[in-house]
A and B are shown apart, each in its own frame.
Chain A
């Protein structure tokens, strides 16, 4: 079978993987797929297109910013190390991007049955291996191709053909290492996630891994704003200690960065050991990357055909069960599931992520003088946007049990209330964190701290509104599962609805502040509007739902 034919077949397998993944992540669509198959099909196409476009956009932005900062920002270090660190940094970021943005798809690859059919066809082991690798590659082809073309091409034009060539080898090695790491980690992660280990340590490992992962995925979108600071930080750190550059030139992917810098016309290193060591290590890493590529093929074949083994039975315990009220049962079930999946852990991670994002913003604003109400309002607006995302993340838990839900006398209202109850916790935590941050940076009056405190009741209205909007949009009012990873459009809608609902009290605050200049009146208005919105959410939103 020639490459073209294999590539075509791999495309079919990759499409099936996406299709399986979409239905697995949105089982609510299973029952309704016949109603509007074109819509589901369009949805799958558009969500994978949005994912690809986002990845492509991120790579382009990273490449442009890295080259801009390292090639032309003379305020950061000397040209040789700036280039070396910049080149390396792009590879590190590309690794992080490819690894984190594709992890959920990759874990799905091992549970998808897409490779089962080819495995019973008269194909050689080598052909199957190649098909598995190609199908896998096609899933993240866009960022991979861009990584190995865009950045090296830019380096070729701006820093000469040799630098471009080294960058190309470095990027190829990065993609290969990402692929291998992705497969290894996915295997470990899938096994860990599917373990029914109820020990506290097991649960902590699961939660820690998922939170780390989710914060990582979300941080990828923010990394670009910090490139100059990170490059500067690395250079400052390196210059504080003798021999750091030499040590860095040994490490992957810095060896490629230092080699690319060394072969750039006009760039010299005083310490000749740096280009020599980086050259030798680049060669070694290139070979390792080649080995990794081959290993990936073998692992993929084995995993894709055999899957991850998780079947086990534990010691027999008492059969009896504990019953609770329906609302508590919904909440408990969702919380249990939250400790067992990556997507679900986003709920825990959102306040942490928001703090990472808001800290530099509030700190920056405090440098111009005491903090005004506008800082608190901006922070709350961000929190409302993420409050919308939180409830959708809780809705992701229902991407499983459609068969159970179908038979249970469970009203959409009760389901939404359960999701809302879970979302209130991170929302409240976020508002308390914002109040804490504001209090740390010299607010103009202590009353500023009250703005996020008064916003806490919106922790009920925001998720109720967003949830109802999602159910109306996706299920015609019925409670359905939403999956952010598979359908990023829903994230945009959720963020938008959350932000709009949360805007009312802030607008009230702002208008009264402009009219009266009184913090007390403004806070009172904020509280009144909040109260009104909460009442409306409580009494009107259930009318939008359907059982």
Chain B
């Protein structure tokens, strides 16, 4: 079964084509990494998939629900952690979770058990009744994560979930992702941290300038790039044609810093 299907997606902002004919699938029970440099079109693709942006053309489905035509039904299946943390700053996490659980109409007992476990696992008890605006970046991320997992979604969509997190929280999030998949869920993960993607993802799609330049498992990408033992970082740079660019940049920097 296919968890996510994006077909020939095109989205432009004025003259800039942010997503150009992108097609990929996330299979049920897999962790799919959407990789790309900053501004490559990862977040735009995810926002179109979530029905938050109207694409110029193409289609997006979540568990066969057309997310452009029926975003509400699609969102019922998804736990989404966006890149920006625009939370209800003047509420506390408790008030926020109450709001989310009510909107999603979750059963009280089951939800309370789930929240209790997650709060404990993420060492979040002492921030539970603090106003969100006073929380650190990491604690806001934990708030977002609990919010996304509250309804035990079939699909997790995480947009740059490891930005600005400490080692402990990053590890916990990686474990949560793995546990989610072990329990039959699927994950679409956007990141530009290659080590994370290499260690965590079953398959990756590399997007550059809005175009999907490579897709597959690590060994498939190695075969595509004709690099037998290359790391994902090296493959990424090769496929996005940045190897030479990076070298030129490093050389220029070396010269500038040595002056």
Q: Which residues does A use to contact B, with CB under 8 Å?
A: 27, 30-32, 34-37, 193-196, 310-314, 316-317, 319-326, 328-330, 332-333, 336-337, 340-341, 400-404, 406-411, 476, 547
Interchain CB contact (< 8 A) of B103 among A32, A313, A400, A410: A410
Is the pair B71, A547 in contact by a Cβ cutoff of 8 Å?
yes
Q: What is the minimal beta-carbon distance from A318 to any residue of chain B, in angstroms? A: 9
Which residues of chain B have C-beta atoms less than 8 A from A35's C-beta? 13-14, 53
Confirm or deny: B97 has a beta carbon within 8 angstroms of a beta carbon on chain A. yes
Is the pair B101, A321 in contact by a Cβ cutoff of 8 Å?
yes
Interchain CB contact (< 8 A) of A322 among B80, B108, B144, B148: B108
Q: What is the minimal beta-carbon distance from B222 to any residue of chain A, in angstroms? A: 34
**Measured CA separation A325–B94 after assembly (Å):** 17
Q: What is the minimal beta-carbon distance from B144 to any residue of chain A, in angstroms? A: 7
Pick the most buried of A32, A34, A328: most chain B CB atoms within 10 A of its CB.
A34
Which residues of chain B have C-beta atoms less than 8 A from A36's C-beta? 13-14
Is the pair A329, B99 in contact by a Cβ cutoff of 8 Å?
yes
Is the pair A329, B103 in contact by a Cβ cutoff of 8 Å?
yes
Interchain CB contact (< 8 A) of B111 among A34, A310, A321, A325: A321
Is the pair A400, B82 in contact by a Cβ cutoff of 8 Å?
no
Is the pair A328, B148 in contact by a Cβ cutoff of 8 Å?
no
Which residues of chain B have C-beta atoms less than 8 A from A34's C-beta? 13, 16, 18, 44
Which residues of chain A have C-beta atoms less than 8 A from B51's C-beta? 547
Which residues of chain A have C-beta atoms less than 8 A from B100's C-beta? 404, 408
Confirm or deny: B85 has a beta carbon within 8 angstroms of a beta carbon on chain A. yes
Interchain CB contact (< 8 A) of A406 among B44, B50, B119: B50
Is the pair A320, B116 in contact by a Cβ cutoff of 8 Å?
yes
- Please name the residue on chain B nearest to A190 by beta carbon: B133
Confirm or deny: B172 has a beta carbon within 8 angstroms of a beta carbon on chain A. no
**Measured CA separation A31–B104 after assembly (Å):** 23
Known: A333-B88, A337-B88, A409-B103. A314 touches B82 (CB 8 A): no
Q: What is the minimal beta-carbon distance from B180 to any residue of chain A, in angstroms? A: 15
Confirm or deny: B73 has a beta carbon within 8 angstroms of a beta carbon on chain A. yes
Confirm or deny: B38 has a beta carbon within 8 angstroms of a beta carbon on chain A. no
**Measured CA separation A106–B100 after assembly (Å):** 32
Is the pair A409, B73 in contact by a Cβ cutoff of 8 Å?
yes
**Measured CA separation A420–B52 after assembly (Å):** 23
- Please name the residue on chain B nearest to A309 by beta carbon: B134
- Please name the residue on chain B nearest to A195 by beta carbon: B131
**At the interface with chain A, which of B21-29, B121-129, B189-197?**
B121-129
Q: Besides A313-B126, A330-B99, A404-B88, 4 other CB < 8 A contacts?
A: A27-B84, A196-B134, A401-B88, A408-B103
Known: A333-B95, A409-B72, A411-B72. A323 touches B88 (CB 8 A): no
**Measured CA separation A184–B89 after assembly (Å):** 22
- Does more than half of chain A's interface fall in helix, strand or loop, or is it mixed? loop
Is the pair A333, B108 in contact by a Cβ cutoff of 8 Å?
no
Q: What is the minimal beta-carbon distance from B102 to any residue of chain A, in angstroms? A: 3
- Please name the residue on chain A nearest to B125 by beta carbon: A316
Is the pair A313, B88 in contact by a Cβ cutoff of 8 Å?
no
**Measured CA separation A400–B203 after assembly (Å):** 35
Is the pair A407, B148 in contact by a Cβ cutoff of 8 Å?
yes
- Please name the residue on chain A nearest to B108 by beta carbon: A323
Is the pair A406, B14 in contact by a Cβ cutoff of 8 Å?
no
Is the pair A316, B126 in contact by a Cβ cutoff of 8 Å?
yes
- Please name the residue on chain A nearest to B13 by beta carbon: A34
Pick the most buried of A317, A325, A403: most chain B CB atoms within 10 A of its CB.
A403
Which residues of chain A have C-beta atoms less than 8 A from B104's C-beta? 408-409
**Measured CA separation A34–B104 after assembly (Å):** 30
Is the pair B101, A323 in contact by a Cβ cutoff of 8 Å?
yes
Interchain CB contact (< 8 A) of B102 among A195, A326, A337: A326
Q: Provide the B103-115 mask, 1 if CB < 8 A to any CB of A, else 0.
A: 1111010011001
Which residues of chain A have C-beta atoms less than 8 A from B106's C-beta? 323
Is the pair A406, B82 in contact by a Cβ cutoff of 8 Å?
yes
- Please name the residue on chain A nearest to B112 by beta carbon: A320
Known: A194-B133, A196-B131, A323-B106. A403 touches B86 (CB 8 A): yes
Which residues of chain B have C-beta atoms less than 8 A from A329's C-beta? 98-99, 102-103
Known: A404-B147, A407-B75. A317 touches B129 (CB 8 A): yes
Pick the most buried of A35, A196, A316: most chain B CB atoms within 10 A of its CB.
A196
Is the pair A336, B103 in contact by a Cβ cutoff of 8 Å?
no
Known: A329-B103, A408-B75. A321 touches B97 (CB 8 A): yes
Is the pair A314, B102 in contact by a Cβ cutoff of 8 Å?
no
- Please name the residue on chain A nearest to B140 by beta carbon: A403
**Measured CA separation A321–B95 after assembly (Å):** 8
Which residues of chain B have C-beta atoms less than 8 A from A404's C-beta? 86-88, 96, 99-100, 147
Confirm or deny: B229 has a beta carbon within 8 angstroms of a beta carbon on chain A. no
10 A/B residue pairs, CB under 8 Å, sorted by A = A30-B86, A35-B13, A312-B130, A321-B94, A321-B98, A323-B101, A400-B88, A400-B90, A402-B84, A408-B104
Confirm or deny: B174 has a beta carbon within 8 angstroms of a beta carbon on chain A. no
**Measured CA separation A336–B94 after assembly (Å):** 12
Q: What is the minimal beta-carbon distance from B174 to any residue of chain A, in angstroms? A: 21
**Measured CA separation A391–B72 after assembly (Å):** 24
**Measured CA separation A402–B115 after assembly (Å):** 22
**Measured CA separation A328–B99 after assembly (Å):** 9
Which residues of chain B have C-beta atoms less than 8 A from A194's C-beta? 90, 131, 133-134
Q: What is the minimal beta-carbon distance from B76 to any residue of chain A, in angstroms? A: 5
- Please name the residue on chain B nearest to A310 by beta carbon: B134
Known: A319-B125, A322-B98, A401-B86. A31 touches B105 (CB 8 A): no
Which residues of chain B have C-beta atoms less than 8 A from A31's C-beta? 47, 52-53
Is the pair A407, B78 in contact by a Cβ cutoff of 8 Å?
yes
- Please name the residue on chain A nearest to B148 by beta carbon: A407
Is the pair A330, B103 in contact by a Cβ cutoff of 8 Å?
yes
Q: Provide the B182-217 mask, 1 if CB < 8 A to any CB of A, else 0.
A: 000000000000000000000000000000000000
Confirm or deny: B250 has a beta carbon within 8 angstroms of a beta carbon on chain A. no
**Measured CA separation A193–B81 after assembly (Å):** 27
- Please name the residue on chain B nearest to A408 by beta carbon: B103
Interchain CB contact (< 8 A) of B129 among A196, A337, A406, A547: A196
- Please name the residue on chain B nearest to A325 by beta carbon: B102
Confirm or deny: B161 has a beta carbon within 8 angstroms of a beta carbon on chain A. no
**Measured CA separation A58–B38 after assembly (Å):** 46
Known: A333-B88, A400-B88, A409-B73. A319 touches B130 (CB 8 A): no
Pick the most buried of B13, B72, B90, B115: most chain A CB atoms within 10 A of its CB.
B90
Q: What is the minimal beta-carbon distance from B127 to any residue of chain A, in angstroms? A: 6
Confirm or deny: B91 has a beta carbon within 8 angstroms of a beta carbon on chain A. yes
